[in-house]
């Protein structure tokens, strides 16, 4: 009975929303604005000359603003992706293997402005909700899952199907978000994934033969899979401040159980692991403003994670079952502080200090990152050389064994309006104890061509 009432209420709300849209559409002449871009992205490994990335992306955006009260937006990626995956003759009849491609609905939502109340805006649908004042790395941006498919595209997230309400009261903005279903983060493609996964330490004398895992996605229910978030924003003394709270699941999986099974070869083991997405509460705050013409921002998120115990089952090896803490429920803080400045000669500099990278969690597992970028536009903005990079430090006390350096000089050329050609190099150096140090052999050249329409 209760369920029927919920369904009936949902149908009524949906009908009401669509009637609002239709009513709005009738009020003015509606026209769809189309736009987008075509981008090719090719990367070449410096070590062996192999192509490591090939992506041809057609981005299509459609937008309609039939009235002052309604707005529709959608963005779709159509991608010809990677290299041929043909492995046998039967694959030659499969176009998806011959030339892999995919569709990615980045966003599709409807905005209803002044919905029920003059000061209330509602956004319904698949949407990106970007919180935080940091530059691309935002500890408080915890509503949409991270999309680390391209590990160098910092800040990219998947959109989520949900509802966002924004209420404006004087100088205050109140936001509330509800995302019913859980979507996990996208992990980096290919060998970049090793940046996020530290090597597994096995008991002495054992060698890993096969590794398999099963992932348990939170059950699709209000209690288990929903993400809720609230935020309040205010300008105070010419600085922008916000406070936020998010409750949901961590977007990165965590091993809850590991089972060791011996193989026919003495010393070789198969490992099967079970992964879960722990629940968490996140309280965040951020600010942005100016001090003596220098742009400054700061952002911090206090995480209250669910405690996850890990069971290591070695019974098949005659070593029993061990329990350890995979994730403690002790709160931890991730934060970022940054500044930027443009000199009179047009040189722009940007620097950030980040404590805790996107995938890092747990009080004792957060590393420090110093990121920077320098750029200047030349020749009437047709050329833009940039040098960006960063330093990762796992342990300041033993720096020389716990660091990684990233340096990426690139040059962007704008031959005509809407066209951009970027050529750059990514150079990584460091120790395998660090995230970027683990991919130090992946130095690469890249060339990206983009045309917007």
- The region of 20-28, 79-87, 125-133, 321-329 touching other proteins under the rule CB under 8 A is 125-133
48 binds other proteins (CB under 8 A): no
Contact residue for other proteins among 39, 67, 160, 166 (CB under 8 A): 166
Distance of closest approach, residue 134 Cβ to other proteins, in angstroms: 10
Place of tokens 């029993």: 320
**Cα angle: 322, vertex 325, 329; to 5 degrees:** 155
Chain-centroid distance, C-alpha 332: 20
Minimum CB separation of residue 178 from other proteins in Å reads: 18
* Residue 415 near other proteins by CB under 8 A: no
| Smallest distance, other proteins to C-beta of residue 174, A | 12
Q: Determine if 295 is a binding residue for other proteins (CB under 8 A).
A: yes
Q: State the binding string over 28-47 for other proteins (x if CB under 8 A, else -).
A: -------x-x----------
Q: Is 344 in the site for other proteins (CB under 8 A)?
A: yes
Applying CB under 8 A, which part among 79-87, 89-97, 193-201, 339-347 lies near other proteins?
A: 339-347
Q: Token digits for 237?
A: 């003394």
Stretch that binds other proteins, among 298-306, 317-325, 414-422, 431-439 (CB under 8 A): 414-422
Q: Does 436 bind other proteins (CB under 8 A)?
A: no
Q: Which is nearer to other proteins, 20 or 404 (CB)?
A: 20
Contact 208, 200 (CB under 8 A): yes
State residue 23 phi and psi, 5-degree precision: -60, -40
CB-CB neighbours of 343 under 10 Å: 9
* Contacting residue, 52, 67, 74, 133, with other proteins by CB under 8 A: 133
- Cβ-Cβ contacts under 8 Å for 86 (sequence gap 6 or more): 92, 97, 98
Smallest separation, CB 438 to other proteins (Å):
29
Residue 354 sits at φ, ψ, to 5 deg, of -120, 130
The residue ranges that bind other proteins (CB under 8 A) are 35, 37, 71, 111, 113, 121, 128-130, 133, 155, 166, 168, 173, 235, 238, 240, 288-290, 293-297, 340-342, 344, 346, 348, 380-381, 417-418, 420, 450, 452-453
């Amino acid at each position: 009975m209760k369920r029927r009432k919920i369904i009936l209420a949902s149908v009524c709300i949906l009908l009401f929303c669509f009637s609002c849209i239709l009513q709005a559409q009738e009020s003015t002449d509606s026209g769809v604005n189309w736009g987008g871009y075509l981008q090719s992205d090719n990367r070449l490994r410096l070590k062996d000359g192999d192509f490591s990335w090939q992506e041809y992306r057609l981005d299509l955006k459609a937008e309609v603003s039939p009235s002052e009260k309604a707005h529709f937006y959608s963005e779709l990626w159509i991608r010809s992706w990677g290299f041929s995956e043909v492995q046998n003759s039967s694959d030659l009849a499969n176009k998806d293997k011959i030339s892999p491609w995919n569709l990615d609905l980045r966003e599709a939502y409807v905005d209803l402005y002044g919905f029920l109340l003059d000061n209330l805006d509602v956004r319904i649908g698949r949407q990106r909700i970007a919180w935080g004042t940091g530059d691309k790395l935002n500890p408080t941006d915890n509503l949409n899952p991270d999309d680390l498919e391209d590990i160098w595209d910092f800040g990219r997230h998947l959109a989520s199907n949900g509802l966002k309400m924004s209420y404006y009261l004087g100088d205050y903005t109140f936001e509330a978000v509800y995302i019913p279903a859980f979507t996990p983060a996208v992990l980096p493609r290919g060998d970049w994934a090793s940046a996020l996964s530290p090597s597994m330490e096995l008991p002495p004398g054992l060698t890993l033969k096969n590794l398999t895992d099963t992932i348990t996605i939170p059950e699709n229910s209000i209690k288990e899979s929903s993400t809720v978030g609230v935020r309040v924003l205010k300008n105070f003394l010419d600085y922008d401040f916000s406070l936020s709270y998010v409750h949901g699941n961590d977007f990165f999986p965590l091993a809850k159980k590991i089972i060791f099974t011996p193989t026919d070869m003495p010393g070789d083991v198969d490992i099967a692991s079970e992964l879960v997405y722990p629940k968490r509460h996140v309280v965040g705050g951020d600010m942005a403003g100016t001090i003596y013409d220098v742009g400054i921002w700061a952002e911090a998120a206090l995480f209250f994670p669910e405690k996850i115990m890990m069971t290591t089952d070695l019974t098949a090896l005659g070593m029993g079952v061990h329990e350890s803490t995979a994730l403690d429920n002790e709160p931890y803080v991730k934060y970022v502080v940054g500044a930027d400045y443009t000199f009179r000669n047009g040189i722009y500099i940007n620097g950030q200090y980040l404590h805790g990278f996107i995938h890092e969690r747990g009080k004792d597992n957060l590393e420090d990152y110093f990121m920077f970028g320098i750029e200047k536009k030349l020749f009437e903005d047709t050329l833009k050389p940039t040098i960006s990079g960063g330093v990762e430090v796992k342990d300041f006390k033993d720096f020389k064994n716990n660091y990684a350096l990233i340096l990426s000089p690139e040059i962007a050329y704008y031959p005509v309006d809407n066209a951009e050609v970027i050529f750059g190099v990514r150079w990584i150096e460091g120790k395998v104890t660090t995230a970027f140090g683990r991919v130090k052999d992946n130095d690469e050249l890249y060339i990206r061509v983009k045309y917007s329409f």
